[in-house]
Structure 1
Amino acid sequence: MCELGDRLRAAREALGKDLGEFSRALGIKRAYLEALEACRFEELPEPILAKGYLRRYAQALGLDPEELVALYPAQAAPEPFPPASRRRRGWGVVLALVLFVGGAGAALWWWQASRATPSGEPQVIVVEPLPAPEPVRLRVLAQPPDAKVYLDGFALGAAPIELEVEPGKRVLRVEAEGFRPFEETVDLTEDRELVVNLEPLAPPEEVVEATSVAAQEVVLRFEGRSWVRVTTPEGERLFEGILEAGDELKYPLPVVVRVGNAGAVRAVVAGEDQGLMGRRGEVVERTFARPNP
């Protein structure tokens, strides 16, 4: 049993996706993803690249990349027995390999001797491995709240969301019912916070005509918690308090409305939906007048 591979495979199967979909979306060879799930680490490239693939795959599955990278073995296990095809090549091949290795060893000895330091000791050159790319932190805020966030086609969850991702050019998509989806390629070379305000779709045309009363009133529909104050244009206070999602206020026009969380209050004036009064957390004051006859 291999905990690393078992957790990858279980997460993928829970999403109902096959390896081909992740291979195309992440740009990683299917064979590498199969090797990760089967813990055949000897079939993967050098650990730096293999761990980068593991981070991206774990992130796409909604798992903790660093936790899984910690399960990656420090050294891939050597192959215990050569394949049968190689065993059948006979002693001639073995002898050729011995001669080749011996010649390579002699060449290496001569090269080191030719590069000896003045003290006579061979010069040792140490090649440091390239460091793995450091992940960057991405934070996504959206309006409306709880809009769904996708990165490279994989669901990350509902906004607001914050997580570490592999740096590079990534495709961000944010969508919510009743709003026009947002999609853009973002260059994640450093920690970023992105605020996405989705554009509401035009409401379907009403077949039933608005009554004369509705045509002369403002309806405030609360899609989240917000403080609100409603006054007449002369300053007479009609209402002040904190309302929750699902609450509604109606007043005859004209009125002055001031809200403390404009992204949570939708205004319908004379039967026409004018959308949210502003952005999330924004304090906005608006005067709603009677429509022209």
Structure 2
Amino acid sequence: MTIGAALTQAREALGLTVQDVSLRTKIRGDYLRALENDAWEALPERTFTRAYLQRYAQELGLDPEPLLSRLDQALPPDPAAVRGDVAGRSELKRGETRRSEAGRRLEQGLASTQTRPARAVPAPSPARTFPLVPLLLGLLLLGGGAAYWAVTRQENGAAPAQQKTVQPPTAPVTGGTDPASTEPAPSAAESVNLSVSSVPTGARVYLDNRDLGVTPLQSFPVNPREKAELRVELAGYRPFRTGLKLVQGRNMRVTLNRNAAGSIVDVNAARARAAAQAARAKAAAAKQKAETQAQATRANLPASAPPGKPDRAAGQSGAGEGTTTPGTAKPGAGPATTPPAVKTPVSVTFTGESWTRVTDAAGRVLYQGTPPAGSRKGFPAGVTIRAGNGGAVQVSVNGQPAKAMGQNGQVVLKSY
């Protein structure tokens, strides 16, 4: 089984997608797919590739050592780097050998000087005697120890030091394949969440050439920026590209078309606008209702009309109570006389509140409303009265005793 097949099988066994692993490990999704496809040419240099593979295997619960061994076979180290390392060690050993030869020659010269006759070498005074040989031996030992320490450190300590320098970047790469362009991992306060959906779904999302995954993309953490480029692509559809300001979380919905340009909608902004419109519509409806109630209240007339004037609640000329004013005469009549007051044939008394509608024989509305309790109204004969509370409406016809139209709370329709 290849490296990519082992990684793919382990990821699918855990029920994870490449996007899920990318969010956990902070490794670009295209790098993870390249590892699963054994596409080494799509990955950065060998040092970073080993670090990505080790981190991916650990996230999936796999032992990274066998996979790293296979990677070393597929991507062997650079021979030039190996040759440079070996040459450096050889040069260090040659320097140590030269220092050892110089020390031996110095010792031989000192020994030959001591074998000369005593007359040829003046005896030094006790005050100027200096232990030269022990000093030289000490220097040689010190130089040899330093050289041995350097070689030992280079052989034994290079691997840990290199391991520290090849740790993969913890921040998502914003574009390209150069690992040096990676950013430090943003803290929770420095990152914003980007959600992208598309119609149709399954489109691939790129932010500044960085592959974020396929739609629907939910709350993907990205670094905030004033200007970013969002690109959404789907096979068979025209790619969509737009500028985006990412200083706070965004929720975008992109509609793709096959031939025409697509469109984008800020879902959060659209929801806010819809909520504002609904609030304005609700306020306008409440205002209209209040105005309608005020108009209905103003349309209701007082309990009785002033003496000598018709009752305007009847709504028709000549249909109200007291159609003739005492002391006046109709045109064409004889001398002015004072006839007795003419009473309307149908008199309605309201003992309580009841919605009432009064229509004439032609169906015209003479009155409609809820008069206050205790009010009285008069109408001509042949009217039809509809009352919402029959017990509160009493009707008298031609001066007969008034009778209630029905029971309390009963809706009644009668003609008089």
Instruction: Tell me the TM-score normalized by structure 2.
Output: 0.19
Which structure features the higher share of helix residues? 2
TM-score in terms of structure 1 length: 0.27
Larger relative strand fraction: 1
Higher RCO structure (Cα 8 Å, ≥6 apart): 1
